[in-house]
Amino acid sequence: MFTGLVQGLGQLTCLNDLQVKIQGLNHQPLSFLGHLAIGDSVAVDGICLTVESFAGGGFVAATSPETLRRTTLGLGANAGSPTLVNLEPSLRVGDKLGGHFVTGHIDGVGALVRSLATATSWELDFEVKSPGVARYIVSKGSIAINGISLTIAHCTPQGDHFQVAVIPHTYGATNLQYLQPGDPVNVEGDILGKYVEKLLQVPGSEATPIAPVPDAINAHFLTAHGYDLRGADSG
């Protein structure tokens, strides 16, 4: 489990088809390396990876076919040269929960559309083409972009195009500052929305709905579903 509050930048290098190496910038040791152990989880650009071994002031992790299918690691952009990535070790008991609940399980890949500097922040527009990712994007909801906890300022009704406002600290401390229009990003929707969808079995989701969602909840609907309204207006 992570919070989406990035703790540093690192360099990712693909060692082979199913292994990556993560080091600190300019091959310096990662700032949190001393707290890591074999088997620990680290969010790498929002992707939950497991530490398999240590090497050169960093660590080596394996990537599964599912990870390659859903994330930017599967696009081949990292082959042959290091890529700048956001890093966050997993939560420990007693850590502050300053962002939102981030699992590190990426839903899919989106892309930057536009980046605009304002007087107080940066406004970044993104798009996602998969309806399975877009349905978890709601105005004022939480989202993780490359592992960064952000709040959605505006979005289309379908959720396929959305905007976030990024404060200068977050912009300067993450790889958002290097993104160019068209660059791919890892997207993870809010886990709470996914559980609500599953429990309610909302029409349009992968689950089969228990019953149609009513246009309005009124006395007839409540009575039909077992509510006793006698005396409801008595006080």
Which CATH number goes with the domain that contains 58? 2.40.30.20
pTM of the model: 0.82
Per-residue pLDDT, 196: 86
Residue 68 lies in a domain: yes
Residue 234 pLDDT > 70: no
Instruction: In whole angstroms, give the CA distance from residue 123 to residue 120.
Output: 10
Residue 224 pLDDT > 80: no
Residue 124 lies in a domain: no
Average of pLDDT values for 146-170? 96
Mind listing the pLDDT tens digit for each residue in 13-34? 999 888 999 999 987 888 888 8
Residue 170 lies in a domain: no
pLDDT bucket at 111, cuts 50 / 70 / 90 = very high
What is the percent of the chain with per-residue pLDDT over 90, rounded to a whole number? 65
Mind listing the pLDDT tens digit for each residue in 82-96? 899 999 999 887 787
Residue 116 lies in a domain: no
Residue 235 lies in a domain: no
How many domains would you assign to the chain? 1
Q: Tell me which residue range forms the domain holding 52.
A: 8-89
Residue 14 lies in a domain: yes
Q: Where are the beta strands (DSSP E) in the chain?
A: 8-16, 19-24, 41-44, 47-55, 58-62, 83-89, 108-117, 122-128, 142-145, 148-155, 161-166, 184-189
